Chains A and B, each alone.
Chain A
Amino acid sequence: MYLDSNFGSMLIQLLIASIAGAGAYISMIKLKLKRNSQAENRDRKTKGRNGH
């Protein structure tokens, strides 16, 4: 057991975790947009088949 109390190590995590958090958020938004667009395409195709 070696506890690391270096402040620099802690501070750099703040930056890295923020970048990673932002990345994860952007990925989630992209995924949502993709799903929405897929759902819209499906709706359009369904409407087309029904003759509307």
Chain B
Amino acid sequence: MIVKQKAEMDIKREPSSFRDPSGFVFFHQGSIYRQVNISYHRQYRHLMDSGLYRILVAKGWLLPYQEVDRLTDDPDAYRVIQPEWVKFLTYPYEWSFSQLKAAALLTLNIHKLALEYDMILKDASAYNIQFIHTQPVLIDSLSFDFYQEGSPWIAYGQFCRHFLIPLVLMSELDIRLAQELKNHLDGIPIDLASHLLKHKHSLFINQHIHWHALAIRKYQAKPARPGRLAKIHINKAHVVAMVDAMISAISSMKLKIKKTRWSDYYDQTNYSQASIEQKEKLVAEYVSQIKPKLLWDLGANNGRFSRIAVNSGAGLVISFDNDALSVEMNYKLLQSQPMPILPVLMDLTNPSPAIGFANQERKSIDQRNRPDCILALAILHHLAIANNLPFDRIMTWLADLTTYLIIEFIPKEDSQVQQLLANREDIFEHYHQESFERSLTAAFDILDSSPILQTKRSMYFCRKRQ
């Protein structure tokens, strides 16, 4: 079954999969595959035959895959595996504090379990983790290597840069500092973190950040002596104790910030009970008509309407918000009541770009799975007034992304818009319903529209023009 070869060469290599000589990811006829190279066959066999793969999958820690026929004549190929499809990719700079923490703990727990099977995680990149709804999962099945008695954890520095440092920065200084991951593809540099945290000196921060930075600085300047690495011998029990201590410290990390402008949004809106109920009913009605497989909820806050969308038949909802604490609240709510919703931190006026080598390693938001439906509730005025985006540009952007659109128009007289205009000159003479509808209908056909009770707001249910 496995050795059968095919001459078909219509495979497309994943542009970000080129660093690891153990194999690579490719696409064939709409499915995703991973080639395991001969150079990695011993590690692969141990992962499969030792029982480690089985237990990792049973725990939901590793993305399951199955071995399939080889699809190419590549002489380097040992096996081809077909992993389950991750419906929507996200990156660590798009995660909330608790999402990054869950991904960090998963990485440490996998490494600890691998040690029991005489293996290690040879890399600890946050990009090897994806979220299936609220659950983080390791997607890189080639990340395992043999444990060598006495050797330190080769991925420890990377773990610090990708996970530990962003978490400490968010917890100790500012929740927004994880955005530095966008600027540093291989994680936030340890010396930079040490500088930013110069007034913070717990034992944990000293060990993993300040002393770590000092050690790197000291030995970077010295010429490398062959064999000096072999002189470092760490007892396996001590390695496990270090991992346990990191798990314990990271588990107890908390955010100090409790409130932002948006974190109690639903307590401060100007909706009456009747108007919010009607809005919920309209969203449920529209979503249930199309039952989208993938819905993007833009400006989702704590995901209130994302939940309504799921309950009305949406297969998976991506809840975007640019407020880190709102995304955090959404994720925590989902941890207690799991639903097919993925909270994502994203500034829609400056969405995640394509980054990495040749701008191909991490995808921009519009290179990822596009939605069947977009929910844009109480967000238009932020885009148009707070960010000076013309209606035409917004509608063109939305029509490029989706087939169906559920959008709320909030007129200038609304107190929320008045707040936005309170401290600035009103230069938005085109911000009115007629102009909005003109731009909307240039890109979409309106299937239904309805005023929202006891407000001057309106809801529109639209389909992209053919």
Contact = CB atoms under 8 A, between A and B. Distances in A.
A interface, how many residues as a size bin? 20 to 34
Nearest to A19: B207
B152 A6 contact: no
12 contacts: A2-B186, A4-B155, A7-B228, A8-B212, A10-B232, A13-B156, A13-B242, A17-B234, A17-B238, A17-B241, A21-B242, A24-B241
Given A20-B238, A20-B245, A24-B241, A1 B123 contact: yes
Given A4-B158, A7-B228, A16 B242 contact: yes
Contacts of A10: 152, 154, 156, 229, 232
Contacts of B11: none
B219 A21 contact: no
Contact of A9 (B140, B215, B237): B215
Interface of A: 1-21, 23-24
Q: How large is the interface on B (under 10, 10 to 19, 20 to 34, 35 or more residues)?
A: 35 or more
Contact of A8 (B153, B154, B219, B235): B219
The secondary-structure label for the interface of chain A is helix
Contacts, number: 100
Interface string B89-104: 0000000000000000
Given A1-B143, A9-B156, A12-B215, A17 B125 contact: no
B370 interface: no
A8 B220 contact: yes
B323 to A, nearest CB: 31
Interface string B185-219: 01000000000000000000001100110111111
B335 to A, nearest CB: 28
Interface in B218-274: 218-220, 224, 228-229, 232, 234-235, 237-239, 241-242, 244-245
